[in-house]
Amino acid sequence: MAGLWPSVPRTLALASLQLGAPAGLCPGRSSLRFCSLSAEAPGQRPAASCARVGASAVGVLLVAGQRRLRLRRCRRQIRHACLGHVLEGQEVLIEAVEGLSVAEGRVVEIREVSPGPGLQTRHFSLRCHGGSTFLVKVGRGPVTTFQAEKAGLEALAAASNGLGLVVPAPHTLGEMPEGRGSFLVMDFLRFIPFGPSIPEVVEKLGQSLALLHGSAVPLVTSSGAKSDWNQPYGFEGGLQTFLSAWPQDNSPESDFAEFFVQRRLRPQLEAASLKFQFRYGTSNEDSTALARLYTRVLKGAEEALEPVRHCKPSLLHGDLWTGNTGATQSRQPILVDPACWVGHAEFDLAVSQLFGKFPARFYDAYFEVAPKEPGFQERQNVYMLYHLLNQANLHGAGLGHGGTPENPGGYLEQAIAAMERLAKA
């Protein structure tokens, strides 16, 4: 690449590099045009000669007086283009990774590694020259969503230290240009295929999760400073976290039953009642059931949670199912994509019983460390209702809508079935 740069002192070089360039600038081209403009004498129109170097476009002007600084900028932009165009504004991600103290040289490869369609985020791996690789998640939402995930990853890493769980270390976050969302940079972990189904991994995960729930909640902020947060339930500083796209109110509370009913269940019930009151693709009976059962469900939930009103506070992953776990090459269980808060340990077992269920050995291993307590299944019904309402509020009545009372199909019908059980309890 060095041979492309002119060496005469009074040479002007113009390069254009199109990474999502505005319409009209090199339209339809995927190559970079390098132009050297040689000025023969002051005031004389320079003669231009151009060569195409493989990349695409914007303009960087290299002036003789500041040649070294501008050369570095131009080389960096050309290198970004040569990495390939996988995302609008990807140069921001590259610069964020290269700015990390743990990055081993410049980024030499960027590729998309999103697990599949339908996700709210896209995933990219960025590999540096020295071999270090980072995962960058890019989402359409504000940076606050990734602030919550970063805090959750840090809290999980601190609490699970020495327990046999692997949590990717988050490094930095930021906003994409032109309001195109935000991003989070973390360590890239290599998952082995079907990790959550390997008996050895499943057993370790169950045991380690129970130990995590039994550990003290780390009261440190993301900056490493000691926290004055002293309420047992919620999250440090009342930081709002997100279950998928649903914002979770983590204002601290000393009564867990009160916290869960008021901060978790009531907002979901109110949103679902409003959303489905005009049927929204459901039967008339389903659309009125939410309002009909509303008061009795809240009362039934509080009664079911009475024995754990002052339970031991546990740091929760918050969205624990097989899709948010994995295994390293050495078969250590991995936890990713948390929706952390501090509450009752049993909550983390609920969502996996609805979708993405673990093999039986996971639950057996968990209960060997933390045995079931009386009323376990009644409380699971309350926690599962929260997840079902969350899915219905975010995604509608759900696949399988139209099932029978004996075998309810979609999210809403399953939620109503759980509400009926609570109302009768």
Which residue's structure tokens are 């960096």?
A: 76
Kindly report, as residue ranges, where domains of CATH 3.90.1200.10 are found in the chain: 195-424
Structure tokens, 53: 């170097």
Q: Where are the beta strands (DSSP E) in 286-424?
A: 314-316, 325-327, 333-335, 341-343
Q: Compute the CA torsion angle 93, 236, 208, 171 (nearest 10 deg).
A: 20
65 backbone dihedrals φ, ψ, rounded to 5° = -65, -30
Active site members: 319
Among 197, 213, 167, which residue's Cα sits nearest to residue 361? 197
User: Domain 87-188 sits in which CATH superfamily?
Assistant: Phosphorylase Kinase; domain 1 (3.30.200.20)
- Residue 225 has what DSSP assignment? P
Give me the helix-helix angle, 199-214 and 360-369, nearest 10°: 30
Among 29, 31, 49, 30, which residue's Cα sits nearest to residue 39? 49
Instruction: Going residue by residue through the chain, which has 425 residues, state the pLDDT in tens, using 9 for 90 and above.
Output: 443 333 333 333 333 333 333 333 333 333 333 333 333 344 444 343 333 444 333 334 444 445 555 555 655 665 656 666 778 889 999 999 999 999 999 999 999 999 876 678 999 999 999 999 999 999 999 999 999 999 999 999 999 999 999 999 999 999 999 888 999 999 999 999 888 889 999 999 999 999 999 998 876 444 444 444 456 899 988 999 999 999 999 999 999 999 999 999 999 999 998 888 765 555 556 667 888 899 999 999 999 999 999 999 999 999 999 999 999 999 999 999 999 999 999 999 999 998 889 999 999 999 999 999 999 999 999 999 999 999 999 988 776 555 555 566 788 889 998 999 998 87
pLDDT by residue (tens digit) across 239-269? 999 999 999 999 999 999 999 999 999 999 9
* CA–CA distance, 340 with 318 (Å, rounded to integer): 5
Question: What's the pTM value of the predicted model, to 2 decimals?
Answer: 0.78
Q: What is the CATH number of domain 195-424?
A: 3.90.1200.10
Burial of 307 (0-12, 13-18, 19+ CB in 10 A): middle
